[in-house]
Structure 1
């Protein structure tokens, strides 16, 4: 429990409700702690707070256009990093062909978001069909590989919880079943397709630890589990299964759309309300946005 200095005050001209009914001809600026989870103050300025004319020095505003980035290679450890700090690593990777080796992230839990494509995921927990719009959480230490279907490559956003874990957000007074019920989380299965890929052929595992890659060679495929039990799980949820909180009168903060929580950051999904029964497009539409928010 954090004991914040916390006695709200009002000074000068303000709105009574944050994000609504600003004083005439003003622009709101929010300054907060812990992302959207700590104390915050809203200022009302006569000029846009982003109305700069020049930047000098190492600080720069950034806007990333991932469509212009070249990202390929036959291993996710050859990904294109975009952002990185002590808590997270955000990168892009395109899997064009079936991986001929396994990978294991020893630096933290791995989150994959499938922008485009479909295919098969094989991991310690079993086999899972994946498609565009899927989030896949792979616990730290999981061995895995991907096989894209022939129609198109798998285009992935990869988020690492460096030294940490992905968890579900506290949904507060709306209850644990809001946004999505945990019953919607799919888990890989040890099915016939998983058993078929088990072999006595030589396999390599490329392990990333402290952001360096080492290779372990086995005289067999180490994805050879016949069963497992426990609650440290690889799970999958698709954005189409998310039922977002919505309000026509109140500006919901990004934290209201949190899908996963990790140390120092959250992953939010901004999507239109729709049911699973609605016919889905073949690609994730522009109205669906995944955002990484750091504290």
Structure 2
């Protein structure tokens, strides 16, 4: 535990509690916080929206990438190898890729650099791995432990996020006083099966395994299919979780921070999932994400499906990137709708990556960036 400097105090006109019952002249609340949403924090009340900038110069800016615009020729190799999928964002502890796979992988993959997390954005198919056969479909998370051998056989064209925990492992978040069965019961985690489909794919043909280590590839050739297990036992495995099995924490009187929606954790970043839920109904409660400075983390959101209630002109398959260092929050129309309680329920599904270390933008992302996104907080009539 860190011994933060703390001196709780208050000045001027302010609400008694965070995210509720704002003063009439200070409806624009801004949270300044440390260590994600777990450290000391102050809640400011402003006359104007903290995102009301009129101009922006320099590289530190909110960015949006439309991954739907990635050209198919960029994937001529990537369709058969996840390691060739273009890097959207990266740092020393994380690689964030987008992969289109529309045909069976011709080689097995093994990532010796860290755990991989797949999020299936489109399509369905079969995953074959050391542990057996696992059907996968749209909306699935699949955790692949470091150095697992695997291959994917799509039954319809697939699009996926690949998020590598470089030199690290994925774990489940601490759920504290709500208990281990909250958000999702571990009983819903599925593992691969040594079923007939898995046994039928075993053969004596020549197979190759691409191994990635230190971000370089090696190729190992076998005179047989190395996915030849006949059984296993233990508590380490590939696991699958579908977002539909997530039952989000919520309060009708308080807008919970993004950390309440944490799904997986690594040492230097977290993965959160936003799924449909009722919107806060208490008259004084904030009903949209609060303006905030998450000054220790970069924030990335992938929009999977639905109506993204805090954003304008965002469609599924897009990514927004908000580096640490400036205030961000809802767009003006979304904030106004929240004030009017125009919506009673969210129907969005989005995957959030929050990284403790600064992320860098890959060339593929720069090619599909919307440069006007930085201006999207400017109020329009």
Return the TM-score normalized by structure 1. 0.91
Question: What does residue range 1-295 of structure 1 map to in structure 2 within 5 Å?
Answer: 1-26=1-26, 27-70=28-71, 72=75, 73=78, 74-149=80-155, 152-273=156-277, 285-286=305-306, 287-295=348-356
Of 42-51 and 204-213, the range deviating more from structure 2: 42-51
Separation in 2 of the partners of 1:244 and 1:38?
22
Separation in 2 of the partners of 1:87 and 1:103?
20
SS of the equivalent of 1:109 reads strand
C-alpha deviation, 1:285, in angstroms? 3.6
CA contact under 8 A between 1:28 and 1:42: conserved in structure 2?
yes
C-alpha deviation, 1:124, in angstroms? 0.8
| Structure number having the greater helix percentage | 2
**Structure 2 CA distance for partners of 1:289 and 1:58, relative to 1, 3 Å:** closer
SS of the equivalent of 1:117 reads strand
Q: Give per-residue Cα distances to partners, 1:148-202, cap 9 Å, x unaligned.
A: 00xx311101111111111111111111100111111000011111111111211
C-alpha deviation, 1:13, in angstroms? 2.2
C-alpha deviation, 1:85, in angstroms? 1.4
Separation in 1 of the partners of 2:257 and 2:67?
25
- Matched pairs, number: 284
5+ long unaligned stretches in structure 1: 275-283
Separation in 1 of the partners of 2:126 and 2:68?
24
CA contact under 8 A between 1:139 and 1:234: conserved in structure 2?
yes
C-alpha deviation, 1:237, in angstroms? 0.7
Separation in 1 of the partners of 2:18 and 2:67?
33
C-alpha deviation, 1:110, in angstroms? 0.4
Separation in 1 of the partners of 2:196 and 2:183?
33
Separation in 2 of the partners of 1:11 and 1:90?
42
C-alpha deviation, 1:20, in angstroms? 2.0
SS of the equivalent of 1:64 reads strand
C-alpha deviation, 1:105, in angstroms? 0.9
Q: Give per-residue Cα distances to partners, 1:241-282, cap 9 Å, x unaligned.
A: 1111122210011111111111221111111259xxxxxxxx
CA contact under 8 A between 1:35 and 1:294: conserved in structure 2?
no
Higher RCO by CA contacts (8 Å cutoff, separation 6 or greater): 2
Return the TM-score normalized by structure 2. 0.71
Runs of 4+ aligned residues of structure 1 deviating over 3 Å after TM superposition are none
